[in-house]
Amino acid sequence: MMAANASNPASQTAAPGPIILLGAPGAGKGTQAKAIAALYGIPQISTGDILRDNVARSTELGKKADPIMKSGGLVPDDLMLAMVEDRLNQPDCQRGYILDGFPRTVGQAEWLDSFLGKALFGGRQMAPVVVSIEVSYNQLLQRLTGRRSCPADGKIYNIYFQPPRKEGVCDSCGTTLVQRKDDKEDVIAERLKSYERQTLPLVEYYGQKGTLHKLNGELAVEQVTATTLEVIAKAATK
């Protein structure tokens, strides 16, 4: 976990509070989360990391979740929310945190609102800053189906946006590039449909609350980052 960095001016400014990143697979949430975490010195939190940590530490919650995960089932909300609550109460979350992939449903969002109603950041209550990174369906398909990786050195390419110099071969070591099974078009299409069914209602939920900020995720990464940080900075000083 990254602690507040005394050499980083942003880490010494007003607490950014809770930040929620919404966006379909391939929208760039992970990239933006890392940039925000580095600037503010706050943790990036995902439910996957929370689950793995609880299982690895053999906590009581982890022991209950482990057999469910091993059988391929979905961890029920009561277990998941208890783990999330425990994580958000840790000392490194006192100034704020980035939630990547949580909440996934309106029910989870309502629980989070209740939790935040009792939480303090820098001595005050703060509503979440909700950033929805908007990317068109066709662009998402190209980002995900176009990904190729080198099994030797892990370098990532995209045949549409960042192709290797020689088709199908890693620039660095000459190894044949591979496509992940879950980057095939039929799998991607199903993932995007699942996102629309389950998570897009959150856009409407937070939009009605006035905490939603929609950003054009098709701009250059640096532009998306700059706009995201501007939104967070403005909200933190209100």
Q: For residue 95, which of 142, 38, 42 has the smallest C-alpha distance?
A: 42
Query: Active-site residue among 29, 87, 95, 148?
Result: 29
Burial of 193 per CB tally in 10 Å (0-12, 13-18, 19+): exposed
Active site residue 57: no
- 57, 191, 209, 214: which is the annotated catalytic residue? 191
Q: 124, 180, 193, 209: which one is catalytic?
A: 180
For residues 94 and 142, give the distance between their C-alpha atoms in angstroms, rounded to a whole number.
Answer: 39
Alpha carbons 138 and 162: distance in angstroms, whole number: 17
Assess whether 87 carries a catalytic annotation. no
Alpha-carbon span 46 to 151, nearest angstrom: 26
For helices 106-116 and 200-209, give the axis angle rounded to 10 degrees: 40
Q: What's the number of CA atoms in the CB half-sphere (13 Å) around residue 120?
A: 3
Q: Is 95 a catalytic residue?
A: no
Catalytic residue of the set 87, 143, 147, 148? 147
Which residue in the list 34, 52, 64, 104 is annotated as catalytic? 104
DSSP string across 113-156 = HHHHTT--BTTB--PPEEEEEE--HHHHHHHHHTEEE-TTT--E
Active centre residues (catalytic): 29, 104, 147, 180, 191
